[in-house]
Amino acid sequence: MDADSARLGTDINSETEVILLEEIVSEMHAHAIQTYPEECCGLLLGHFEERSKMVTESRRMGNAFVKEERYHRYTIDPKEFLSVETEAEARGLEVVGIYHSHPNAPAKPSQFDTSHAWPALSYVVIEVRNAQAIDTRSWILKDDRSEFVSEKMTIRK
Amino acid sequence: MIPTALRQYTEGSKPQIEVSADTVSQALSKLLSDNKKLAVHIFDENGKLRNFVNIFLNNEDIRHLEGEETKVKESDTIRIVPAIAGGSFTEKHENKYIPDIDDRRVSINPREYRRYGRHLIIPEVGMEGQRRLKAAKVLVIGTGGLGSPSSLYLAAAGVGTLGLIDFDVVDETNLHRQILYTEKDVGRSKVQTAKERLQLANPNTQIKTYEEPLSSGNALEIFKGYDVIVDGTDNFPTRYLTNDACVMLGKPNVYASIFRFEGQATVFHPKVGGPCYRCLYPKPPPPGLVPSCAEGGVLGVLPGLVGLLQATETVKLILGTGDPLIGRLLVYDALSMTFEELKIRKNPKCPVCSENPEITKLIDYEAFCGIQKEPDVASVLPLQLSQELKEGREVKLLDVREPHEWDIVHINGSKLIPLRDLPERVNELDSADEIVVYCHTGGRSARATDFLRGLGYKKVRNLEGGVEAWATEVDTSLPRY
């Protein structure tokens, strides 16, 4: 199964939408497969619009969690985050989302994801099994931080 | 500076808000009192900064300064920087027996799902376990009675790499228990034949063969590449060698031994706290005291069960599931059909696995077990003896085997005194006679010859190769066993 035929998330129970270029999805999948069985993580750059986010670039970030835990944990070094954010802003782009992979686990946010999540951003989660990206879904945190809700994900050529 | 994610919670969604304050703490409370919706994302219920919120003062994390009490000056920039973290919820169990097994880039491809389907649906195995099996490297020492069933099942179960050590060829007497081999394999190399058979069972298993005797010179080098060592040997020098090499490399040693109707199995793994073979048997038995299967016999079905105890323990170590036989010796008696479990304690003064071991390098295990290459006794070859008898030379033949062996075959005109009865029945022999002693293959008779010569029987010789050689070279009408 290649990235193109991978099953993509379709549940819609949120009013927001994230729009991704097809090449960005392929790139996230490639990243997730390369780091498997560890989690990968990265930033999604683009623009916030009225009810949606437009993602025009993705940026791979190193997984700064201790090596032994990377199979189920990721973290991004804040300094590296800051440097990407600053550089993006200089080009008129914003950090609109985070992507990360779940090796051998469903593409749903975990409790750990929820407790560490930031509002407004799209959290794209890629389920990887046997080094194949088999499910990709986007999630957004509720304002009261209680839980993630699924977000519509549209892929454009 | 407010991160994009939080701007929607500020008045007017501004990226930058100016406040005047003396410390970081003051600046933050000022910011939050003006922008109340921000608070929940920055502070937890107890009013502490959430652990995924980083505050930077002029590009320096305040944790590296004086925390929230860090002083601020006019035109300083305070940035809220998200610590982005998360992860999946699988709490994977570690494999303490093979700690690096999950680091190997091995995966089960969809073509293999069906083959291992009955494994994948067991929660304790599943995809993770099957992947571990595929990533595992198991070395089977000896592809005989024990190695046959264990290697066959390990290959079938999906173990990715199997190493086989044996330098023997298939003998007809192997066939009643060594199920890897068939009649047409007699005379062929064991490891080559085994490799072909295992490859039929599972073409995905990589089989490496070592057609050489395991020795102090090659053991560490070979063992190094494996995760689990399965000891299916039948002699003491190799068992001590296998044990010591495993201890030195920190590898689990899945041990078993068989004799007649009885089998023993355990797992030696001092690295995780268990005892080793030397804790159980500090010294080898005197040479000849414990007979091998060739000398004492073995029930053909026995190694099937005992070899699969080893295969089962090996699979458990790879999966990291269940309780291995570490520190427990399982004794199986086929006649009474009972399994007994004996506790084996670690010897705190063990010469190899204690904290301060005396033995840190592999030694000469043949010498350690008191084995001499050839008993230094006068001997005679079968053809030579046959010639002497034809010439009418007066030679008394003494058979030192067991009575039930005598019943299978013996040389006409010989006298039977089993080796163990020889000391008390030695007066039945005349030291003036010329005597030739024989047994099955020449080992026991060499000891008998040595014993008799020590008592002053000067004209005693050993028949080299025993009745086996006699039946092959002189009287081919005799049965062999």
Q: Which of B98, B149, B477 is nearest to B319 (CA)?
A: B98
B81 touches A at CB < 8 Å: yes
Domain B379-473 has CATH 3.40.50.300: no
Closest-CA residue of B relative to A118 is: B5
Q: Which of A25, A149, A36 is nearest to A99 (CA)?
A: A25
Which pLDDT score is estimated for A27?
96
Q: Which residues contact residue B263 at a Cβ distance below 8 angstroms, ignoring those fewer than 6 apart?
A: B256, B257, B302, B303, B305, B306, B309, B331, B332, B334
Phi, psi of B201 (to 5 degrees): -65, -40
A83 token code pair: 């440097």
| DSSP secondary structure letters along B19-37 | ---SBHHHHHHHHHHH-GG
Which of A126, A130, A145, A147 is the best residue to mutate to test the B interface, defined by the most B CB atoms within 10 Å of its own CB? A130
CB-CB neighbors (< 8 A) of A94 in chain B: 4
Interface list for B 60-79 with A (CB within 8 A): 61, 79
CB-CB neighbors (< 8 A) of A110 in chain B: 86-89
Closest-CA residue of A relative to B51 is: A116
Task: Looking at the complex, report in whole angstroms how far the Cα of residue A22 sits from the nearest Cα belonging to chain B.
Answer: 24
ipTM score of complex: 0.74
d(CA B115, CA B29): 62
Interface list for A 2-21 with B (CB within 8 A): none
Which CATH architecture group holds B4-82? Roll (3.10)
Which pLDDT score is estimated for B92?
54
Which pLDDT score is estimated for A61?
95
Q: Where are the alpha helices (DSSP H) in A91-148?
A: 111-115
Cα distances (Å, whole numbers) of residue B84 to A65, A112, B51, B270: 11, 11, 10, 42
- Cβ distance A98 to B3 less than 8 Å, yes or no, reads no
Q: Which of B133, B103, B113 is nearest to B320 (CA)?
A: B133
Contact B352, B247 (CB under 8 A): yes
CB pairs under 8 A between A and B: 128
B126 touches A at CB < 8 Å: no
Closest-CA residue of A relative to B128 is: A104
CB-CB neighbors (< 8 A) of B54 in chain A: 78
A105 touches B at CB < 8 Å: yes
d(CA A66, CA A81): 18
B110 touches A at CB < 8 Å: yes
- Cβ distance A116 to B83 less than 8 Å, yes or no, reads yes
Q: Could you tell me the pLDDT band of residue A8, with boundaries at 50, 70 and 90? A: very low
CA triple A103-A107-A111, angle to 5 deg: 90
B388 touches A at CB < 8 Å: no
d(CA A57, CA A92): 12
The minimal CB distance from A112 to the residues B5, B79, B87 is found for: B87
Q: Which residues contact residue B66 at a Cβ distance below 8 angstroms, ignoring those fewer than 6 apart?
A: none
Helix orientation angle between B382-390 and B466-473, rounded to the nearest 10 degrees: 70
Task: Looking at the complex, report in whole angstroms how far the Cα of residue B31 sits from the nearest Cα belonging to chain A.
Answer: 18
B1 touches A at CB < 8 Å: no
Contact B104, B111 (CB under 8 A): no
Return the minimum-mean-pLDDT range out of A40-54, A94-108, B76-90, B301-315.
Answer: B76-90
- Cβ distance B84 to A113 less than 8 Å, yes or no, reads no
A113 touches B at CB < 8 Å: yes
Q: Which residues contact residue A76 at a Cβ distance below 8 angstroms, ignoring those fewer than 6 apart?
A: A41, A43, A61, A62, A63, A64, A98, B83, B84, B85
Domain definitions of chain B by residue range = 4-82, 101-368, 379-473
Which of B51, B53, B84, B106 is the best residue to mutate to test the A interface, defined by the most A CB atoms within 10 Å of its own CB? B84
d(CA B434, CA B75): 115
Which pLDDT score is estimated for A99?
96
Per CATH, the homologous superfamily of domain A7-156 is Cytidine Deaminase, domain 2 (3.40.140.10)
Residue among B293, B350, B353, B369 flagged as catalytic: B293
d(CA A115, CA B342): 50
pLDDT at A13 over 80: no
Domain definitions of chain A by residue range = 7-156
pLDDT at A1 over 50: no
Which residue type does B69 have?
Answer: E
Q: Which residues contact residue B99 at a Cβ distance below 8 angstroms, ignoring those fewer than 6 apart?
A: none
Contact B131, B222 (CB under 8 A): no
pLDDT tens digit at each of 481 positions of chain B = 888 778 878 877 777 888 888 988 888 888 888 887 888 888 877 777 887 788 888 888 888 888 888 888 888 888 888 878 887 765 456 788 998 888 787 888 888 989 999 999 888 898 889 999 999 999 999 999 999 999 999 999 999 999 999 999 999 999 999 999 999 999 999 999 999 999 999 999 999 999 999 999 999 999 999 999 999 998 999 999 999 999 999 999 999 999 999 999 999 999 998 999 999 999 988 777 777 777 788 999 999 999 999 999 999 999 998 899 999 999 999 999 999 999 999 999 999 999 999 999 999 998 898 876 555 678 999 999 999 999 999 999 999 999 999 999 999 999 999 999 999 999 999 999 999 999 999 888 998 999 999 898 989 999 999 999 999 999 999 999 9
Please state which of the four CATH numbers 2.30.110.10, 3.40.50.2300, 3.40.50.720, 1.10.3720.10 is assigned to the domain occupying B101-368: 3.40.50.720
pLDDT at A49 over 60: yes
A57 touches B at CB < 8 Å: no
Q: Is B439 a catalytic residue?
A: yes
Which of A82, A91, A96, A114 is the best residue to mutate to test the B interface, defined by the most B CB atoms within 10 Å of its own CB? A82
The pTM of the full predicted model, rounded to 2 decimals, is: 0.58
CB-CB neighbors (< 8 A) of A72 in chain B: 87-92
- Cβ distance B127 to A110 less than 8 Å, yes or no, reads no
Closest-CA residue of A relative to B85 is: A75
Q: Which of B13, B29, B84, B56 is nearest to A141 (CA)?
A: B84
Residue B138's beta-bridge partner residues?
Answer: B162, B228
Interface list for B 397-436 with A (CB within 8 A): none
CB-CB neighbors (< 8 A) of A129 in chain B: 127
Q: Is B353 a catalytic residue?
A: no
- Cβ distance A120 to B84 less than 8 Å, yes or no, reads no
d(CA A59, CA A45): 8
Which of A54, A61, A94, A116 is the best residue to mutate to test the B interface, defined by the most B CB atoms within 10 Å of its own CB? A116
SS3 content of chain B, % helix, strand, coil (to 5): 35, 20, 45
- Cβ distance A118 to B84 less than 8 Å, yes or no, reads yes
What does the pLDDT look like over B31-61, one tens digit per residue?
Answer: 888 887 888 888 877 777 887 788 888 888 8
The minimal CB distance from B108 to the residues A39, A110, A130 is found for: A130
What does the pLDDT look like over B116-133, one tens digit per residue?
Answer: 999 998 888 988 899 999
Cα distances (Å, whole numbers) of residue B302 to B15, B299, B332, B441: 78, 5, 9, 24
Which pLDDT score is estimated for B93?
64
